[in-house]
Structure 1
């Protein structure tokens, strides 16, 4: 499977987006960009939609995603996609949504394995005590994304 990449300069740092011709595969925060050779339409569209998101104009994304994970992880990621823009829920609430109230730690682990942050909004999940817990891109990015969404809600 041939993959392509592009680098997007967001307000929270450089984002590397990897795709096939049809699907977005991952979004990763990186320190520096490398040269992007071929840029298929899906990557251009991903950048356009991220632009709209960061400008407060887009609340949901409309991109073909290819997520790889366990059945449980996919259930968690689907639940994350249903969290409304600008809202936050606890890991326990996500566990309840997927029908397994005791799977709080497993929900956290699934969040950690999310390869398409922002689009699959794992930043909207917080601790039961209201504290920001864990984010692969750093807690400061999670805090920024939550504040950004609340501003445009």
Structure 2
């Protein structure tokens, strides 16, 4: 069973989903792959993990660098999970390119394969796929739209 709650961020409405113990999804409404792999949820605004995530998001959107003190359990292939683990290692206020992530996995890994995994990240913001950029820092796709990616990068002072 999955539980859900909404969060009103300064850049759009967000749906947060948990299995009761860990966060399994965090999406902006109408983004690509919204609720991928999750058929139905039971609304529950009082789940303890949701209180922690909302506090994290409040701090994040206020320009702080909060720490995650709750479990994340993204659902995906082993390859995608490997990419998402690397995303978690990108420090607040910094970026990596798709190519740099690919080279961390294998000398033969393609940036396009990494891009596919990044695009299917089911836990936006917490698994910071917005910190991935194209060659020379060029802003490229973001499942919730480039406008949201730009705003997230501004919050972290990566963009002005």
C-alpha RMSD of matched pairs (Å): 1.7
State the 1:3 CA deviation: 1.2
CA distance in 1, matches of 2:48, 2:74: 19
Counterpart for residue 124 of structure 2: 117
What is the 5 A alignment of 1:125-136? 125-136=132-143
Is contact 2:28–2:144 with CA below 8 Å preserved after alignment? yes
Q: CA deviation at 1:129?
A: 3.1
1:39 aligned to 2:46? yes
Residue 6 (str. 1) matches residue 16 (str. 2): no
- Residue 55 of structure 1 deviates from its aligned partner by 1.1
Please identify runs of 4+ aligned residues in structure 1 that moved more than 3 A: 35-38
Aligned position for 2:153: 146
Residue equivalent to 1:27 = 26
Structure 1, unaligned stretches of length 5 or more? none
Q: Secondary structure at the match of 2:147?
A: helix
Q: How many residues align?
A: 147
Using structure 1 for the length normalisation, give the TM-score: 0.89
Indicate the residue corresponding to 2:144 in structure 1. 137
Q: Whole-Å Cα distance in 1 between the matches of residues 45 and 144 of structure 2?
A: 26
Cα distance change on mapping 1:143 and 1:38 into 2, 3 Å = closer
TM-score (norm 2): 0.85
Which protein, 1 or 2, shows the higher relative CO under an 8 Å CA cutoff with sep ≥ 6? 2
| Cα distance change, pair 100–17 in 1 and its aligned pair in 2 (3 A) | farther
Gaps (5+ residues) in structure 2? 31-41
SS of residue in 2 equivalent to 1:14: strand
Per-residue CA deviations over 1:46-96 (Å, capped at 9, x if unaligned) read: 111111111122343222011111111111000000001011111001111
Question: 2:65 touches 2:92 (CA, 8 Å); kept in 1?
Answer: no
| 2-structure distance, mates of 1:100, 1:65 | 28
